[in-house]
């Protein structure tokens, strides 16, 4: 009988564990984005005054920063996967994600900002040292609840059990460093290309692998109580500030409602792997949500290609980077997500608003042929530019605030610019 050698078993277990934390980092990033998009921006929206508007703006900035840092954690996890011979992995369950998916004792969901959603984030980011003592069999599956930090501890143990020569069999060429993401032109000083605490770097041995794990844990998941700038402690500060505002509201009788009444777990079409999602039924919001999901799907496809680094030249890698980092994220995903947060979600119900579904479709997988992948990217960018223009035209005649019509028009112009730039870059590569 043929048995797998210890190094092979360790790599298989490590690949499985890394895919699990990749799903978690991806999922948590989107949950932070959804909560950030839900926060109000003006006193005219009701429920906040001028002073509270500044506080809510600070909360939004913190949540967006947390989402950005989760993206960087995910990038390091993908480098770890590549270093042990694994493939870039961006799959995840759709929302809401039942507790059975991960041993964290919490459901992952797209929900507007609230005290309850903050408690869920704190459960994700809980330092392992603060996990209460548990009796076996406390969970339905009989397993003990774990923290994300403990999941990374398992990865750390696997990294240290095998000779690094047998463990790190992947190529450095399939990994992404900070410069490839933030400074592809190589024009900035070193202090410009850092600043988020965990920057992508190449992993080529045990020391760099353990450094990657330690940096992720120190910044967020599993950080100690004393780590002032950890995700956990930043969320604690937001919770404390929210408690003060809610107490003041209760005492004075003036309501404090920092978040828009967005749907929980909005979808355009319910996914078979997500029970409890809420279907967007208003035609205008459905059109915006379908457009958003098209953009999110394209972003996933491009990131898979970018992190796989199969056979693109440096110029072709830069071509993907110029769209995925960061125009598609900042000039499409964020503004359209914020537009959705203010559009009525349900036909006949003008109060409840929609939100970005972030639906993960079955077809979101690596396109292995370079020419085919780039052709698909160009086609989808052109399609999104056309659909963005149609949506902006519909917004122009809809009964919505003028600022939303303006933002929709800007999204359409930016998408047209992205599609045109990608096509022009392709022509330059071919010439």
> Count of H helices and E strands in the chain?
14, 4
According to DSSP, the β-strands at 349-353 and 344-346 are antiparallel
Please say whether the beta carbons of 309 and 173 come within 8 A.
yes
Please say whether the beta carbons of 364 and 301 come within 8 A.
yes
What is the model's pLDDT at position 429? Answer: 60
Long-range contacts (CB closer than 8 Å, 24 or more residues apart) made by 160-165: 160/206, 160/210, 161/6, 161/10, 162/6, 162/7, 162/10, 162/11, 163/7, 164/205, 164/206
Superfamily of domain 1-260 in CATH is Ferritin, core subunit, four-helix bundle (1.20.1260.10)
Q: Which CATH number fits domain 269-431: 3.40.50.720, 1.10.3720.10, 3.40.50.620, 1.20.1260.10?
A: 1.20.1260.10
Nearest alpha carbon to residue 230 among 242, 217, 211: 217
What is the model's pLDDT at position 106? Answer: 82
What is the model's pLDDT at position 196? Answer: 45
As to burial, measured by CB atoms within 10 angstroms (0-12 exposed, 13-18 middle, 19+ buried), residue 192 is: exposed
What are the C-alpha distances in Å from 33 to residues 85, 133, 142, 358, 393?
A: 31, 32, 33, 10, 27
pLDDT tens string 23-58: 999 999 999 999 999 999 999 999 999 999 999 999
In the chain, domain spans: 1-260, 269-431
DSSP SS3 for 253: coil
The label of the residue with tokens 């997988």 reads 365
User: What is the spatial distance between Cα 189 and Cα 80, in angstroms, rounded to a whole number?
Assistant: 26
What is the model's pLDDT at position 226? Answer: 66
What is the model's pLDDT at position 409? Answer: 98
Query: 200-236: b or e for each residue (b if 16 or more CB lie within 10 Å)?
Result: bbebbebebbeebbebbbbbbbbbeeebeebbbbbbe
User: What is the spatial distance between Cα 183 and Cα 318, in angstroms, rounded to a whole number?
Assistant: 10
What is the model's pLDDT at position 200? Answer: 83
What is the model's pLDDT at position 183? Answer: 53
Instruction: Please list the rounded mean pLDDT of every run of 10 residues in the chain (431 residues).
Output: 75 95 95 98 97 98 95 94 96 86 83 97 88 56 74 94 92 81 49 52 94 90 66 95 98 96 95 88 98 98 93 87 88 97 96 97 94 96 98 97 97 97 75 55
The answer to whether the bond into 34 is cis (omega within 30° of 0) is no
Q: Is 99 left (phi over 0), alpha (psi -120 to 50) or beta?
A: alpha
pLDDT tens string 328-364: 999 999 999 999 999 999 999 999 999 999 999 999 9
What is the model's pLDDT at position 430? Answer: 60
Name residue 278's beta-bridge partners.
266
Q: Is 198 left (phi over 0), alpha (psi -120 to 50) or beta?
A: beta
Q: Do the domains at 1-260 and 269-431 have one common CATH topology?
A: yes
């Amino acid at each position: 009988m043929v048995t797998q050698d210890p190094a092979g078993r360790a790599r298989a277990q490590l690949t499985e564990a890394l895919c699990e934390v990749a799903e978690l980092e991806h999922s948590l990033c989107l949950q932070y984005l959804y909560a950030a998009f839900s926060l109000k921006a003006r006193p005219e929206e009701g429920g906040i005054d001028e002073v509270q508007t500044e506080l809510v703006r600070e909360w939004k900035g913190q949540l967006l920063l947390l989402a950005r840092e989760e993206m960087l954690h995910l990038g390091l996890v993908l480098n770890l996967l590549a270093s042990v011979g694994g493939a870039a992995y961006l799959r995840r369950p759709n929302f809401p994600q039942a507790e059975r998916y991960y041993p964290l004792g919490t459901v992952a969901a797209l929900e507007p900002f609230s005290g309850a959603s903050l408690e869920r984030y704190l459960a994700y980011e809980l330092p392992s040292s603060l996990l209460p003592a548990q009796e076996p069999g406390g969970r339905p599956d009989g397993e003990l609840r774990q923290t994300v930090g403990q999941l990374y501890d398992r990865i750390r143990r696997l990294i240290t059990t095998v000779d690094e020569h047998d463990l790190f069999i992947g190529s450095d060429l399939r990994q992404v460093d900070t410069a490839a993401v933030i400074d592809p032109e190589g024009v900035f000083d070193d202090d410009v290309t850092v600043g988020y605490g965990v920057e992508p770097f190449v992993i080529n041995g045990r020391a760099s692998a353990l450094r990657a794990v330690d940096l992720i844990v120190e910044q967020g998941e599993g950080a100690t109580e004393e780590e002032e700038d950890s995700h956990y402690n930043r969320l604690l500060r937001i919770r404390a500030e929210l408690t003060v505002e809610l107490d003041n509201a209760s005492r004075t009788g003036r309501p404090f409602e920092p978040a828009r009444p967005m749907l929980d777990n909005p979808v355009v079409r319910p996914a078979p792997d997500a029970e409890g999602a809420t279907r967007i039924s208003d035609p205008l919001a459905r059109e915006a949500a379908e457009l958003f999901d098209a953009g999110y799907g394209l972003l996933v496809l491009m990131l898979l290609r970018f992190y796989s680094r199969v056979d693109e030249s440096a110029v072709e890698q830069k071509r993907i980077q110029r769209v995925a980092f960061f125009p598609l994220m900042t000039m499409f995903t964020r503004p359209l997500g914020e537009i959705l947060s203010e559009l009525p979600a349900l036909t006949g119900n003008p109060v409840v608003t929609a939100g970005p579904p972030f639906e993960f479709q079955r077809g979101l997988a690596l396109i292995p042929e370079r020419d085919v992948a780039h052709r698909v990217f160009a086609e989808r960018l052109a399609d999104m530019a056309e659909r963005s223009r149609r949506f902006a035209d519909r917004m122009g005649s809809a009964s919505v605030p003028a600022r939303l019509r303006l933002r929709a028009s800007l999204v359409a112009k930016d998408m047209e610019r992205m599609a045109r730039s990608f096509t022009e870059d392709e022509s330059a590569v071919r010439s």
